[in-house]
Every structure is written in structure tokens, then in C-alpha cells.
Chain A
Amino acid sequence: QQQVRQSPQSLTVWEGETAILNCSYEDSTFDYFPWYWQFPRESPALLIAIRPVSNKKEDGRFTIFFNKREKKLSLHITDSQPGDSATYFCAASGSGGNYKPTFGKGTSLVVHP
């Protein structure tokens, strides 16, 4: 059972465009949603995270939009740069029995110059 789904599986944008990566989840008790990015031949690293008390979290060019009712969130990367090319993982965890983070399968983003 896949509790965290990501789409699209891969995404290509031009430099300067806005990339939108989507994530949805099933368990309504999830209450923490970090995004990790992973560059080729490197390990995942935390990029940005959000808690459901807020419907938006911004960090520079990276913004998470969160819709609790629909159990969806999205990561927007504005003014995309070639250096943003990476695989992005959406994760979810909760304070209850499902506290261990569940990762989506990732979105591979390529930003062409």
C-alpha cells in the first residue's frame, strides 16, 4: 500500500520557469511533510518541510502549498536553475503509530539552460 504518491515521475523545465511537483497522501494522521532532494551520486538531504498548521511554507525560490482537506501538497520551484536538477522526495510522518516517515517514489527534475 503506497501511502505517499508523487507526480509526475519525471519533469523537464527550462531555466527560469516554475516547476511544480505534486504529492498526495492517504493517512489523515500524518502531520509533518518534509521534502528531500537528492543529486546524482549523493545522499538525500532535507530541502524544506511543512506542518498542517500552515498551508504555505516558503524558503527562497522553494514553496510548499498544502491542502489538508484534499490531502495534497505541492512543491513550487520558481525561477528554476540547472543546479536544481535532482530527484525530489516527498515524505510524511505522524505523531502516532505511523511516526516513521514514509517516502514517495520521487520526481526526477531536469532544468535545461
Chain B
Amino acid sequence: EAAVTQSPRNKVTVTGGNVTLSCRQTNSHNYMYWYRQDTGHGLRLIHYSYGAGNLQIGDVPDGYKATRTTQEDFFLLLELASPSQTSLYFCASSEDRANSDYTFGSGTRLLVI
């Protein structure tokens, strides 16, 4: 079954720590996205990619890096984590660049203390 799988499900790190969130999709989709979800803000786009080696800047990119190593794998990197990055992170994929529906992963809840 086609899916988007995120790991870990939960993560706790200290301020200044280094965190990598992983996402793998088996949908054969070209596009992958990283969102953060916070109360009162809805879903905000951090970074996205339309293929291996490609990276596009989203709406809230500060403090985040991302890398798309393969068609299937998309990583979000927090190199100096801050408490403001405590959030619920979703990865998603879509077939096409426009007018496509998203398939979301189950989310990673990150706590930065």
C-alpha cells in the first residue's frame, strides 16, 4: 500500500541540539513537502522538493535545512534546535506540482527543551 512514513514518531532534544527527521514515500510521487503544525497557525510549509537533489524554500524556512536524497526519501534537519521549533511536523507527497492532492505521513512530534 502506498504510504508516507515518518520517523521518529516522537523526539526530545535540548536547545542547540542536532535533529534529523526522516520521511519515506512509496507513492512514486515526484513532490515531497515538510510542514509544521502549531495551534493557531494551521499547516505551514517549511521546505519542499520535486525530485532527488532538488530543494525549494517554503514559507517558514528559517532554522531548517532539508535534503532529498532519493525519489523516496526526504529529510528535515535542525542543526541548532531552539524551543520555538517545538512542533508537530508532517511530511507529505503529491504526484504533480499543481492541483494534486497530498498524502500525509503520521507526523513527528518534536520537543526542544
Contacts and interface: CB of A to CB of B under 8 A. Distances in A.
B42 A105 contact: yes
A99 interface: yes
Interface string B92-107: 0000011111101111
A51 B101 CA distance: 12
Interface in B47-78: 48, 56, 58
A34 B41 contact: no
A106 B42 CA distance: 6
Contact of B101 (A46, A95, A100): A46
B98 A94 contact: yes
Interface string A2-45: 00000000000000000000000000000110101000001111
Nearest to A99: B98
B40 A105 contact: yes
Contacts, number: 46
Contact of A93 (B43, B48, B99): B99
Interface of B is mostly: loop
Interface in A34-72: 34, 36, 42-46, 49, 51
A32 B48 CA distance: 19
B41 to A, nearest CB: 6
A43 B99 CA distance: 20
Contacts of A104: 42
A43 B104 CA distance: 6
Interface of B: 33, 40-45, 48, 56, 58, 90, 97-102, 104-107
Q: Kindly list the 4 A-B residue pairs having the minimum CB-CB distance in the complex, ordered from nearest.
A: A105-B42, A32-B99, A99-B98, A43-B104
